[in-house]
Structure formats: C-alpha cells, structure tokens
Amino acid sequence: SNIKDYCPGKLDPTPGGVVGFDEPYELNATREMMEEMNIDLTDGKNTLTKLFTFPYQDEHVRVWGGMFEVVYHGSFSDIKMQPEEVSEVLRLSITDIRRIAKEDPNDWMPDGIHAINLYLQHRKDTAVKGRRLLKGYSGHLERYRIRPKPQVIFFDCDDCLYFDGWQVANKLTAKIEEWCTSKKNLPKGEAYQLYKKHGTALKGLLAEGHIDCEKEIDEYLRDVHDLPIHEHLKIDNELRDMILKIDPSIPKYIFTASVRDHAERCLRALGIEDLFVDIIDVKSCNLATKHSTESFEAAMKIAGVDDPESCIFLDDSRTNIEAARSVGWRSFLVGRIGRDCGAPITSEHAEHEINRIHDVPTVLPELFEHDSS
C-alpha cells in the first residue's frame, strides 16, 4: 500500500514484516501470514518451513531476513488481505514475477525480488541431492546469498579427466622413483617420502638440495612424464559431448601438477584437446603444488578471475580439494576410491563428490543451463 514506510506503492512478491524486539523469525512469519493474508499456521492444516537466513542491503535499509516456505491447503476465497498493508492483489507465477520485474524493476520491492531469487537458487540447491552448502560460501544457510555465476572451470588432468585404474599414475610414480635412484643415487622409496613431505617429489628434491638449477628441473619433468599415453588412453566421446554441453561462455582450463606436454598428450588421446582455453601446469605456478594456496592464486591470475567463489574446481585429490576450499573455490571431488588405500574416500571440503567426471551434470546442473540458440 501507499502508507508503508519502506517502498510505498511497490509490488511485493513475498508477504512478511519487521521482526519485533526479541521476536523469533518463526513467530513473526506466523503472525504476518495471519495479519496480511488470513492464513492460520497454527491450525495444523497449513505448514511453515524455515529455509534460510540472509543479509540484505540497499540505499534505504540494511537488514537480515528469514525465508520461509508456506504450504496452504485452504481455498483461495478464504485468503483475506489486510487493507492497511495491501491495496491490490495480482495473481502471478514466479516466472511471471521475474519477467515483469526484469522489464520494470522500479515497480517492485527490491528486497522481495532479492528474496525470490534466493528462493529459486535454494530450490536448485536442494534439488541436487547431496550438495553441501558449506560455511563461508554464499550457499551456507545461515548467511545465504546469491551465488556468483561461474567465471571459469578448472579441470585436473590425471585420474580426473580419465580413470584407468591408476595405470598411468603408477607408471609416473615408477619413473619418478627410477629418476631419483639412477640420477641422484637416492635410496629406494625416498622419492615417495619426498612426495609425502613436500607435496611433490620435485618440490622435495628442490627443498633438500638434490636439484639446484633450471636445467635439471626441465630434465626431471621431461624424463618422468615421458610415457606413451596413446597406449593407455583412448577417445572418449561421452566426455567430449558432456564438455561441449557446458555453457560456452564459461572458460575451461586444465589445471595439472604435471607438465604441459604430458597434459597435451592426454587431451589428444581423449579427443578433447580443442575444448580448453589453456593448460596451467606446474611450471605456470612456479612449481607450487596444488597442496598450497600459491598455485590456486596463480591459476586465478592466469585465468583473469578475481572472485574465488566463481571458480569451479574438479580434482581427484582430497588434499587439493581442501587447499582449493581454503582460498574460496567451489570444489568437487572426482573419484570415490582412494589410490593408496583402495577404500571409499570422501572430503568434507568438497561441495559434492562424483564417481567419474562424466557425472558433472548431476552435481552442477547450472553449468548446462544456457541459451543454446
């Protein structure tokens, strides 16, 4: 109505009101539904479900809100609007509300439109079974916010884009072991100890003084990645079709702890070498491992992205997933069996977990919702 203090005369898509001092959100919602619409939420027929709380701010107000979903089982004729609060009623679908509000945004209550957009995002979040709404992100229900549109997708390469039972991984490990024992006379098993201590064997070789020049770094990376990838991997048309269906406006990168040449061979073998903007390899990150925040910061700089939450990260390593979350990336664990333990694995730092990369549409359906015309 025109007598309201906040945005008088505007269309409001959501009934509600101002919470009184020390008044619980649920009690306020129950009271407002009765006062504004004559809907009784205490009679056992209609239901009230709390969804989330959210911050909201514009040039007029700075507030916290509580969002509830009401299921009304009565007749439309029993709904009676409070004349002091409501001067006109329009019967519109949520689709109509969003369309009309986009055409004439000044006609609408801005906080109500914001709440509707949050509600629709929440419906998508809850529709993805198993999605974790992690604390510290916009999706957390205690501080629910509009999630930024993904600006970039980072795909790990080995044991993520493909899974061959760790055959390539085991051969890489064997070549690292061979290089350390034959080139540096290290005892058997030392390469693995360097990996566990420093994140990669190369970082360990550097940290403990076994390698001390750029030439040796290049030699090491060339030798340990010298594998006939085409003998192990084959064209994956299912993977190619899935990647092609992703919103083409979102750039896609390979983000790997290996070297560019190795990643290029893998992509060619899988038949997807033309689907990525670039390869961010270990040298691109100044040899930083994906166990550290430095590599993620370098990847964002290369991709030209400032907002960590706009980054989607797909990787098979729980340690990498945890590091990605520490910088604010939305991270997804690919592969639920651990290489070292052979048992099921999980990560509390992952927004979701999938068995294989082809399952991305089931946990990130928003990547595939775009105008293909």
Q: How many CB atoms lie within 10 A of CB 228?
A: 9
Residue-wise pLDDT tens digits, 355-366: 999 999 999 999
Across the range 219-223, mean pLDDT stands at: 96
Residue-wise pLDDT tens digits, 253-287: 999 999 999 999 999 999 999 999 999 999 999 99
3-state secondary structure of 331: strand
Residue-wise pLDDT tens digits, 11-70: 989 888 889 889 999 999 999 999 888 999 998 899 999 999 999 999 888 999 999 999
Across the range 284-303, mean pLDDT stands at: 95
- Average the pLDDT over each of 20-34, 93-107, 297-311, 359-373 and give the range with the smallest value: 359-373
Q: Grade residue 1 by pLDDT with cuts at 50, 70 and 90.
A: low
**47-57 and 62-71 beta bridge pairing:** antiparallel
What was the pLDDT predicted at 373? 46
- Rg, Å, the chain Cα set: 27
If you write DSSP's letter for every residue of 220-249 in order, what string do you get?
A: HHHHHT---GGGT----HHHHHHHHTS-TT
In one-letter notation, the amino acid at residue 354 is I
Across the range 199-226, mean pLDDT stands at: 93
3-state secondary structure of 254: strand
Q: Grade residue 87 by pLDDT with cuts at 50, 70 and 90.
A: confident
In whole angstroms, give the CA distance from residue 255 to residue 284.
10
Q: Grade residue 81 by pLDDT with cuts at 50, 70 and 90.
A: confident
Q: Grade residue 371 by pLDDT with cuts at 50, 70 and 90.
A: low
Across the range 322-333, mean pLDDT stands at: 97
Q: Grade residue 226 by pLDDT with cuts at 50, 70 and 90.
A: very high
Judge whether 299 and 277 are in contact, CB under 8 Å. no
Average pLDDT, the chain: 93
**330-334 and 352-354 beta bridge pairing:** parallel
